[in-house]
Amino acid sequence: MELKLFSGSTHPQLAKAIAKELGIPLGAVELKRFPGGETFVKFTEQIRDVDVFIVQPTCCPPNESIMELLIMLDAARRASCGRITAVLPYFGYGRQDRKDQPRVPITAKLIANLLVSAGANRVLTMDLHAQQIQGFFDIPVDHLYAAPVFVAHLRQRFNRDAQIVAPDAGSGKMAHAYADMFGCGFALVAKRRVSASEVEAPYLVGDVNNCDCLLVDDLSSTAGTLVQAALRLREAGARSVSAAVTHCCLTDVGIDRINASILDKVYTTDTVPVDVSSCPRIEVISVAPLFATAIKRIHQGDSISSLFSLESGK
């Protein structure tokens, strides 16, 4: 089958970068809104029996992005393409992965059901908020990690004398993996959530005195967790505090908090669009080469497990 890559309207810059890495042109698709707000999709080139990859992180805003992706999947299926892979660099609604109180939905499972019903044959994504989301799908899910990309980019700065820090208990396993890859120490900040946008970080486990610290997390929107953890680390004597966040879905509140914080740098990827002009402390590292390699291997029927190693981030 021929490989063709298409992009939704959420993040065409990333799709173009992936297409450039693959050495193919981005596929032609018409996307527009009717006066009433409904989405219209039309593939303007032949895709019968084609291996189709559709790039659409479900963010900015998530409801519009998800609906557009579902319509693109349905259009591709009805055009008799050979296989459809939904490429979601960022999987929206990933934080709603369980019933943590009465009478609430498991929205991550609902999104998985919708993607399959719309026509996706497989999913390619990165750093899901919860690993169990892979089990919500009844189709293959290829899950990439940003860690090799971050480590390859930052290993010169964060060496054995540094500390990799989890900003909360939920990111502890992720931070420990980063610490192993960097070959340096590990610490953890225990937080208490006051509200949806306010947190406290009263406890620190680990010695960070006179250390360069790197907070690692999969997602940040209001930046409350990162900012409070950074303050706690500085109080404990940290020499510098930076952060590496895979998905920087920052709100205006989050941008203001980072600009006013003691964070030296926030490293992130381009899984979602990031406006660095509004926050000069943010540095974006592209994951387009990693996604391009994964897409090529999926198309050829090869394994992608080797992409989890440090060499894949070079």
**Higher pLDDT, residue 1 or 284:** 284
Q: Which residues are catalytic?
A: 191
Q: Are 70 and 118 in contact (CB under 8 A)?
A: yes
CA 274 to chain centre: 12
pLDDT at 160: 83
Q: In whole angstroms, how far apart are CA 181 and each of 134, 163, 178, 213, 214?
A: 24, 12, 5, 15, 13
Residue 101 has pLDDT above 60, yes or no: yes
Average pLDDT over residues 120-147: 95
What is the three-state SS of 160-217? CCCEEEECCHHHHHHHHHHHHHHCCEEEEEEEEECCCCCEEEEEEECCCCCCEEEEEE
- CATH 3.40.50.2020 residue spans of the chain: 3-145+288-313, 147-285
Query: What rounded mean pLDDT belongs to the chain?
Result: 93
Predicted model pTM:
0.93
Average pLDDT over residues 35-39: 94
147-285 CATH choice from 3.40.1800.10, 3.40.50.970, 3.40.50.300, 3.40.50.2020 = 3.40.50.2020
CATH for 3-145+288-313?
A: 3.40.50.2020
Residue 279 has pLDDT above 60, yes or no: yes
Round to whole Å and give the CA distance between 66 and 92: 8
